[in-house]
Every structure is written in structure tokens, then in C-alpha cells.
Structure 1
Amino acid sequence: MSAFDPKPILSSLPGLPGVYRFLSAKGDVLYVGKAIDLKRRVSSYFQKNDQSPRIKLMLTQVADIQTTVVRSEGEALILENNLIKALAPRYNILFRDDKSYPYLVLTGHAYPRLAYYRGALDKQNQYFGPFPSGYAVRESIQLLQKVFKLRTCEDSVFEHRARPCLLFQIKRCSGPCTGEISAEDYKRDLSHAAQFLQGKTHDLLNALDEKMRDAAAAWQFESAAAYRDQIQSLAKVQEKQFVSSNASETDVDIVACAAEEGMVCVNLVMVRGGRHVGDKSLFPSHGEDYEVQSALEAFLAQHYLDRSIPPVIVCNGTDEFGTLAELLAAQAGRKIALVTNPIAERRVWLEMALKNARLAISQRLSLESTQLGRIQALQEALSLPDSAQRIECFDISHTMGEATVASCVVYDKLGMQPKEYRHYNINGITPGDDYAAMRQVLTRRYEKIAAGEGVAPDVILIDGGKGQISVAVEVIEEVGLQDALLVGVAKGETRKPGLEQLVIPSSGQVLHLPRDSAALHLIQTIRDEAHRFAITGHRARRGKARVSSSLEEIDGIGAKRRQKLLTRFGGLQGVKAASVDELCQVEGINRALAEKIYQALH
């Protein structure tokens, strides 16, 4: 135990529901928890002798306790999870899955477009999902193209076509851009696609079969053949489904948690309208020493609070989730069934998800074993201590000096850490001066770290030759970051992978590692990731800079209205800065059009 005396704080705690936080001597939050009775729950930490190793270690670091009283256990649960997501305490299990899930969208145009979408939902469009991955969305788009031939092209392409595109030629689009299909027929196909996405496949097949027979009876054999082809395509889709449900319109999430060899994995399977749309394996931070039930409770709270919730969630917990189920039901505005003892097909789904969770753990352990071998090989090749784990790599990207962006990617804890990646917009230098760009990004990055903000790396990789390395040496000396090993990754004479030279300025060495070296493979992986990330940032910045006038792409904004907007606000930047109410004040702009303009520019 630490020298911290909790008695004065414990004696003043109320017997009310709330959230408690254990803090370190530096003021960092170590752990966040909820309680029905704060006094009893917090006191129990200092009265038990059979705590887990994780809790015992945490208690040795506690220097203060803070509490927040709330009105109910449900409010405590919400506050607890908001604090966990915001503070990322070291001893809480944390499912880092901050990205919004992708949707499939049917836009609100006269000829709606079928598209992939991620972000805030707009009432003007029709959304289906969420899907567990972008791949699942794109697979569904390809399927709908084959069966219903809906358009997927951008508005700028759709509005300026003079003849049908290749998708029309290969029968993946019905060609609404050039009037190859009537508005009524396109609307019918759209309705059928929506039925399919809603899981009403059985009703859809019956309706198509009836229309096929009516067309054949009326001697409209081409129409009958088209309906026949759609029926056959949909039948094949049903046959290919990995999971199918007798309750065809049921939306279900299956959540299976496995804990093996000190690792926790949650496999999330999404079934929409009885159709298996994919699964996703999630590995929480600080998951070691947590039991399945605790991990499930953490996942269900962190994942579903603030997200759309299906009516049924099947999971492999051993206990009931009373308070959590009530809270989710209140959020969804309807009853939510949390099923922990499923029967029939739902049991099969759960067993499948549990098997996938265990398989994901096995694969992660295998990968970590490979990564461990790579980092050990790098430590040996560069004469690094065994504790050296964190590597940061920098690269510069621009087009003839335009929109220069520097990237910093991080490798730590036996893997790339995307949440720690950073883009740096480079300004105030001569366009195309890579040395000045490298100086700027390294200075901005390591001045803060040298001042104690952030984690110092063990190795700094610079993608470049002697010039970039010389600049890096000067910057590292200026900021006083002396403990990190600086390594330049220079391409070989023929610039082929495997011929890289490792330049180490501290010793004056130039290393040529064998092509099959595990250390070289790790360096190549990190260097390539820095290159990819730099190009991504550069293209995004360049794209913004090259927009001549976004107003031209907005439906309903012709030359006259565009001129009035630009005159009224002094240019495109002024239009972007204007609110919806200010846009409404321009002649010829009603509120609906103002909202469309605002949304398009933001």
C-alpha cells in the first residue's frame, strides 16, 4: 500500500450513487468507477486483502480520491463511461473505437445515388446500417448494383453525362443520367433496393414473382425476363449468406467475449434484416486481468451509449445486465432485449462469434510473437537496450512545393499506433525545400517533448539521405533531446526495397542489413507507413487549396446566385464563414437552400 491515508476522505463520503476517481501524485486519473453507494464501494478497496494484482498495483499509486454524486445508477453509468473515454485511465478497460461506423446511403436526389457514408446522419437521405466495416458496405453496394442497377456516380458526373458510362454497358447501372430509364421505373428499383436492405427479402421476392407472371401474361417478355433475372440474383444472394435467420426482419447484434492468455477480445457480429453483414474483433486497452463479464459490461456501455441500438443483443455473459438494459432501452426509446442464454439459431450465432473471438486472440498472439522478433532484431542491429520500444518516423510530401505536409507515425507496444499519428502543415518556407520542412516538423514535435509534454521516442527514423539527417541532428541538439537514437533511412542506388542504407550519425556508421533481416522489414514497414500518411495529408490539403468555388457544385446555385453570394460576403471564405440566417438574407436564397449551402461548405 502507498503512504496515502484514505480515512479522512472515506469518512466524508456519502452513501449515494455516483462516480469515483483514483488519482496519482501527479494528478493523473488512474481509475474511474461507478457505485450505488459511494462510501461502501470506495471503502471496500482499502478493506479487502484478496484484491487482484492489478488493483493492488493501482492502490500503491493512489494519492487522492475524487467523487461525483448523481441521482441514479443509470446516470453514474453514463458519467463513468464518458470519463473513461475522455481520460483513458491506466487501470480501466477501454475499447478504443472512436471512429463512426459506416453506413450505406440512398441520397435524396430526384434520381437517388447509392453510396458509402461515414459521419453525421442527414434527414434528407435514407441510411442503412451501421455496418461493421467499410468492406461490408462496399460489398453491399456491388450487390445492389448487380441486382437493382442504381447509380453510384458523383453528382458532378451525373449532371454532365452526354452518353451512358461503362457501368451501363456492363449492366451495373440503368443509365438515369441520359434518360435510359424513366423516373417511375427508377423509383421502383429504388423501392426494391430499400426493401432488400430492410430485410424484407421474402416480401420482395413474392412481389417480383407476381410482376414477372403479370408481364408474361401480358406478353411483355422482356420485362418478365428482367424480373426473372432479379429473382435469380436475389436467390443467389440468399444462398451465399453466411448466417440466415427465419425471422427475416430481425436486427440483432451478437457480442461474444473471450479471455485467454492474458488477452481479452470482443467479437461483434451484426445481423440486419436476418442478413449477416459482417463482424469485427475488438481488443481493449488494459484488458489483462479482466473477466469476461466485466469486459462485456464495459463494451456494452462504451459501444452503445451514443449509438443506434438494435432491438436484440445476444451476448455470452453469465449475469443479467439490469441497469444497463434499462439505460439502453431509455436511449433507444423502445425495449432492448439483452439475451445471455440464447436458444436455436441465436445460440449458433453466439457460438460462431465466440469461436471468432478466440481465433482473433490466437492470431493476435501470433502477430505479437512476430513483432517481438522484429523489435529484438532491431535492438540487436542498432545496439539498443532491451527497453527500447518506441519508434517515431517522419516523411515530407508535396507536389512541386505545393501544400507541403509532414507526417509523424509511431510504432510502440509491438505495433503501429494510429491514434498517435500526426500531420503537420508546413508554412513559411521556400516551396520545395525539404530540409526546411524537416527542420520545422522536428522542431515543432520535439520542443514540446523536451519540455516534458508527451512521450520521448527511443528511435527517430528520418526518411531521407545525409541532408535530412544533418538537419535532424541540428534540431535534436537544439531542443536537447539527447537520449533518442537518430537513424536515417536512405534509398539504395537503384531505389529498390531491400537496398536501403541506415545512416547513424552518432557513430558515423552506414549499415546495410540483409534483405531477409527482420530488423529491416520492421524499418521498411514503419517508413512506408510514414510515406502513406504523408501523402494522405498532402492530398487532403492540396484538394482544399485547389477548390476554385465549391458553390458551383451545389444544386440550385447558378451564376446569378453565386455572384450575389460572393459579392455579399466578399468571396468564398466569407460565404463559408456565414451562418444559415446570414445566407437567408441574400436575395434569392430561401432557408432550405441556405441550409444546403451551409452543409455543402462544411
Structure 2
Amino acid sequence: MSAKSEHIQNLLKTLPNKPGVYQHLDAEGKILYVGKAKNLKKRVSSYFTKSHDNARTYMLVKKVKDVRTIVTETEFDALLLENNLIKEYQPKYNVNLKDDKTYPWICIKNERFPRIFSTRNPIKDGSEYFGPYASVRVMRTVLDLIRQLYKLRTCNLNLARENIESGKYKVCLEYHIKNCLGPCEGLESEEEYNADVESAREIIKGNISAVIRHLKEQMQKHAEELQFELAQSVKERIDLLQKYQAKSTVVNPSITNVDVFTVMSDAEYGYVNYLKINEGAIVQAHTVELKKKLEETDSELLELSIPEIRQRYNSTSKDIYLSHEVELEIPEVKIHIPQRGDKKQLIDMSLRNARYHRAERLKNIQIVDPDRHTNRIMQQMKSDLRLSEEPRHIECFDNSNIQGSHPVAACVVFKDGKPAKKDYRHFNIKTVEGPDDFASMEEIIHRRYSRLLQEGEDLPQLIIIDGGKGQLGSALKSLELLGLRGKIAIIGIAKRLEEIYFPGDSVPLYLDKRSETLKIIQQARNEAHRFGITFHRKKRSKAAVKSKLEDIPGVGPATIQQLLKKYKSAKRVEGASKTELEELVGTSKAQKIWSYFHPDA
């Protein structure tokens, strides 16, 4: 037993059966990976007692020379500690949180007669900060609403009591246009001003119903005291708030103070979306992007993100809605996975936000780094279709015939996920009589790959057959005859439900309708269908023209070719004048052609 192995084995024996955080270290004492565990002994031991199929995990374990552990009181404490350690040390094998963008916040300044404004640079001066807002438009909507409802100051004067009492300041234009009530000259009391700030604070938090209730009480009081102008002013505020609430409500207004977390991922990245819901309205929304390191599952990505995002947003919500099951316990917080109704609607909305963020991100990658975009898609296809290698070269086949007439087939080629049109091929079916798609598929697959083998050409990594189990079975027979079964991956796609069939598996695979893998398969299938149909139409058209001209007595193939070269179709030959025909083929043949098309003349 090596010194490293002996040290690790001794260490494993001493680990506690308690929650905590573990750190894998290399020979130089550098942290390679930080993880949390419900049971430190079981989790850390699993790295050294199991064989790992994943290459990155295998390499990680190979480099580990020491393990440090920190025992915590609860699993949730371990989760928070893990998060802080990852942010501090940025270990090589941990998920990277990519969030470099500076988002704006709404600030309620810590000062006498507080200002409310937006900022991208929160500072620790005792002020309150709400956000960050992923959407600047949403933040501005909230600030505009507050400015319409409350006449809060926008100046940065020091409104200390002694400054106001000494008459240091004079009211500005904002006072004269009735956007401010003049606290700088003592024209508005601190108590009245702070009451408006408190209402604005509730609006920012999303507690609009509470503000409306308070305003209705005010309106009633003014009406009872016969202060009708003040009552009307308050009523206008209520109307404004109700309009805003109607626009911002996305589900049942009774759903209040809830955090929603959903996740979606591809081969390289995970995308976790967070929505803060208050009274049925989204008051905060944010998506974080996580770089995968050890093929983390969606549930693991969600577990990693929840404490980080809640900490960043200072969330105190007692209810969390999730898209996936997680092994996570947060004290005094209930975790739900909604299946129907308004709560499920929130999950769907959050997932749409995650997909949108991913789509925008991928568009940028495609423009800035097309090679990375291609590599990602190839990696995704390999994962989705359980392939042994990336499908850089794909060939897709389709048959075309109408009641067995003029049977043809098409082969289209995709390289790096894009059509390679110069490599497309047509096939005339030679050995099959009648409408037999299975036999036709068997013939063209054999002809295509026997030729590639003879000529020493590169074989594809993936063959797509347009059809279900029957078509796929026929193609497999030819691959078996050529000794290629198992050497080239092959799948069938059935049109009705876009089912993906694999050899020897009667249960089809259903890919997500938004999956890039499915989109490339569909594009190849549709391209093969288009290419085959175009060839089939040309063949039918040519056959129809030729047969019509061949029926003319005394007109041979050379004359037909001469006619088609000039007129392109039998219909145009029919429309030609006798003189034109005589100039082209001579008087005798022109007479025969003219008489055939104009028997009454």
C-alpha cells in the first residue's frame, strides 16, 4: 500500500458520521474541490471505495493527497459554509458561478428625509438596498410609481435639523412644480415624510395590498372630515396602485413572500432562475449560470445555488417552490415541488426565464465563438443520444415514391451540425418492385456503405433513418451484412410523436421539444425529405414529358431531345407554331408533331 493510500485509509477511519464540509487537497496543499455532506464518513469514503466512470472525477481522486473536514451542526450550515469556501478559494473542480455583471439596486438612503434612488454600487453606510434587479425596466417602473405617488426629495442636501432651522436652504424648482413638499425649508414634517417613505418601502417589497388598505383608511378619514380634495388626491393614488398591481400580478395575489427556483442544463452549463413572488407579482428575478465540472445533476446545481442566491438577496421567505427534488433542509422553511395550479404556473414561468437566458447566452457564443458553439452542440448530442463519440459526421436517409412509381431515395450529410450539400446523394431504387419502403431502405444503406468501404471514404458517426422500428430494422440488416453493426451508431425517428428508436430497444426516447439535439435530427430528416421529393418530382416530370413525346408516330429520341432542349416541356412543344417547329426539326417531322397536338386542324 502506498504512503498516500495508507494516509487516506487511516483518515477515512476517523471521519465522523455527522454533517459538514470536506476539502480535497493536492500534493502542494492546494484545494482541488470543496463539498458538503449529510454524513462526512459515507460521502468522503465514496470517493476512494468506488470506481469512477466519469473521467473528471477519476482525475480528481487521482490528484487527492489529503482531505480536510469541518463538522457543522446541521446540513444547512454545511451548505452555507461550502458556498463561502467555494467563493473564497475557487477550486478547480467545483462549479463556477458566472455572474460578473453589476445589476442595479434601489437604495433608501440612511439620512434625515431619506432619498429613494437607483445605484449599481451598494455601500455599507446603514442605507437599505433592495435588489439586485436583473431587469432595469422593472426597477424603473417601481421608481416611477413611487415618484407619482409620493413627493419625495431628489436633492442631496444635508437636511440636518440645525440646517433647516437656520434657513440655510431655499426651495427649488421641484417644489414649485409640485414634485416636492419643501422639507428643506421645514414646509413638510419629518413624520409625514417618513410615513411616505414607509409606504414606498412596502411597494418596493411588493406589499401593495397593505399600502392600498392604508390609503383607503386615509381616504375615508379625509371624507369624514369633509376634506374632499385630499380624499380625491388619495383616491387617485389608490387607482394608480391598483393599475400597477393588475399589471404586475402574474398569478393568484394570495401567493405572497415565496421564493421560486428552477434549473435547466446542457452538457456544459446549468442555468438557475430565481423569482421572488409577493402578492402574486414578481418583485425580483435573476438567472445565474453555472459551469459544470463533474457532470453535476440538475438537483445538485439547484442545491448549490439556493443558499447563494438567498444570501445575495437577503431572502427570508418561509416557502420555496422548486422544479426538482433536492436533498436540502433549511430551518423553518417549507420546500414544495408544485404539480398543478397557480404554483405550477410560477415554476413554468421561471423555467421560461431560464430558457430565455440560455438562448440569449448561446446566441452570443455562436456569434463570438462559433467553434465553441459547435463543440457544445456535439457534446450535447453525444450525451442525449448515448453515443460513444461526438456525431461530427451525420447521414440521414429517406425514401420517396407514389404507389411504387419511380421509387427513389435521398441521403443528406451534416458535418459539425450543419448541412454539407456537396455530399448529398440521390438513389434510384434498382432491386425493389412496388411500394416496399423496408426493402428500399435495405438496398440504399447497403449500396451507400459498401461504396464508402470500397473507396476508403470516412464513415459517419451517426446514421438517422426517417422512419420507426421497421425502417430501422431494415437498415440494420445491411449494416450487419457489411460488418458495420456496432461500429456506426444508428437511430430511427418516427414522424408522429418525434420518437427516437435505438437498435434492440422497443421503448423510444422522447427528447425535449426545445432540445438542440432534436432540432438537428429534425433538420436532417426534413432536409432528406425535401431533397428526395425534389428528385422524385423531377423524375416524374421528365418521365411524363418523355412519354407524351414518345407517343408521336415517326418521332425518335434524337428529335425528342432536340425539342426538350429548346422548349423544356411537352406543353411548350404543343404551344409552338408550325413554322417554329419546321425551323427546328424540318417540314416532315414538324407536320407529324403539329398533327399529333392539333388533330382538328
For normalisation by structure 2, the TM-score amounts to: 0.52
**Deviation by residue 1:200-232 (Cα, 9 ceiling, x = unmatched):** 433432443343355345543321231122112
Matches within 5 A, 1:332-351: 335-341=332-338, 343-351=340-348
For the 8 Å contact 1:23–1:64, the answer to whether it is kept is yes
Partner residue, 1:35 = 37
The percent identity for this pair of structures is: 28
For the 8 Å contact 1:132–1:278, the answer to whether it is kept is yes
Distance 2:153 2:29 in 1: 55
1:148 equivalenced with 2:150 (yes/no): yes
The 3 A distance-change label for structure 1 pair 362 and 54 is farther
For the 8 Å contact 2:249–2:280, the answer to whether it is kept is no
Helix, strand or coil for the counterpart of 2:93?
A: coil
Partner residue, 1:313 = 320
The structure 2 residue matched to 1:280, chosen from 286, 293, 305, is 286
For the 8 Å contact 2:257–2:279, the answer to whether it is kept is yes
The 3 A distance-change label for structure 1 pair 290 and 72 is same
Amino acid at match of 2:150: F
RMSD across aligned C-alpha pairs, in angstroms? 3.5
Amino acid at match of 1:165: L
Helix, strand or coil for the counterpart of 1:269?
A: strand
Partner residue, 2:230 = 223
The structure 1 residue matched to 2:275, chosen from 269, 293, 298, is 269
Helix, strand or coil for the counterpart of 1:212?
A: helix
Matches within 5 A, 1:251-266: 251-266=257-272
1:234 equivalenced with 2:241 (yes/no): yes
The structure 1 residue matched to 2:208, chosen from 201, 212, 218, is 201
The 3 A distance-change label for structure 1 pair 356 and 4 is farther
Distance 1:154 1:341 in 2: 47
Instruction: Measure how far apart 1:180 and its partner are.
Output: 4.8
The more displaced of 309-318 and 229-238 is 309-318
**Deviation by residue 1:134-188 (Cα, 9 ceiling, x = unmatched):** 835444222211111222321349966423334x455443333345545554344
For the 8 Å contact 1:20–1:67, the answer to whether it is kept is yes
For the 8 Å contact 2:303–2:326, the answer to whether it is kept is no
Distance 1:41 1:375 in 2: 34
The 3 A distance-change label for structure 1 pair 195 and 356 is closer
The 3 A distance-change label for structure 1 pair 375 and 298 is closer
Amino acid at match of 2:218: K
For the 8 Å contact 1:252–1:311, the answer to whether it is kept is yes
Matches within 5 A, 1:570-585: none
Instruction: Measure how far apart 1:367 and its partner are.
Output: 0.9
1:295 equivalenced with 2:284 (yes/no): no
1:59 equivalenced with 2:66 (yes/no): no
Greater C-alpha Rg: 2
Distance 1:77 1:215 in 2: 53
The structure 1 residue matched to 2:173, chosen from 136, 158, 165, is 165
The 3 A distance-change label for structure 1 pair 202 and 186 is same
Instruction: Measure how far apart 1:296 and its partner are.
Output: 0.6
Matches within 5 A, 1:17-96: 17=18, 18-60=20-62, 62-74=63-75, 75-96=77-98
Amino acid at match of 1:65: D
For the 8 Å contact 1:164–1:178, the answer to whether it is kept is no
For the 8 Å contact 1:198–1:273, the answer to whether it is kept is no
Instruction: Measure how far apart 1:97 and its partner are.
Output: 5.1
For the 8 Å contact 1:314–1:340, the answer to whether it is kept is yes
Partner residue, 1:578 = none
Distance 1:256 1:240 in 2: 24
Partner residue, 1:247 = 254
1:10 equivalenced with 2:9 (yes/no): yes
1:365 equivalenced with 2:373 (yes/no): no
Helix, strand or coil for the counterpart of 2:369?
A: helix
Matches within 5 A, 1:124-143: 127=128, 129-133=130-134, 135=136, 136-143=138-145
For the 8 Å contact 2:105–2:131, the answer to whether it is kept is yes
Amino acid at match of 1:55: T
Distance 1:39 1:266 in 2: 30
**Deviation by residue 1:322-351 (Cα, 9 ceiling, x = unmatched):** 3xx2xxx2xxxxx21222336532221111
**Deviation by residue 1:66-123 (Cα, 9 ceiling, x = unmatched):** 2225254535434433321211111111325599986544445443322346646666
**Deviation by residue 1:364-386 (Cα, 9 ceiling, x = unmatched):** 1121111115999xxxxxxxxxx
Question: How many equivalent pairs are there?
Answer: 359
Distance 1:33 1:201 in 2: 41
The 3 A distance-change label for structure 1 pair 151 and 271 is farther
Amino acid at match of 1:230: R
Instruction: Measure how far apart 1:295 and its partner are.
Output: 0.2
Amino acid at match of 2:360: Q
The 3 A distance-change label for structure 1 pair 90 and 218 is same
Distance 2:222 2:72 in 1: 64
Structure 2 unaligned residues grouped into runs of 5+: 374-601
Matches within 5 A, 1:405-554: none
**Deviation by residue 1:459-500 (Cα, 9 ceiling, x = unmatched):** xxxxxxxxxxxxxxxxxxxxxxxxxxxxxxxxxxxxxxxxxx
**Deviation by residue 1:512-546 (Cα, 9 ceiling, x = unmatched):** xxxxxxxxxxxxxxxxxxxxxxxxxxxxxxxxxxx
Partner residue, 1:398 = none
For normalisation by structure 1, the TM-score amounts to: 0.52
The more displaced of 303-312 and 28-37 is 303-312
The more displaced of 345-354 and 188-197 is 188-197
Distance 1:277 1:263 in 2: 26
For the 8 Å contact 2:262–2:351, the answer to whether it is kept is yes
Instruction: Measure how far apart 1:252 and its partner are.
Output: 1.7
Distance 2:361 2:261 in 1: 19
The 3 A distance-change label for structure 1 pair 140 and 27 is same
Distance 1:194 1:291 in 2: 39
Helix, strand or coil for the counterpart of 1:356?
A: helix
Distance 1:12 1:207 in 2: 63
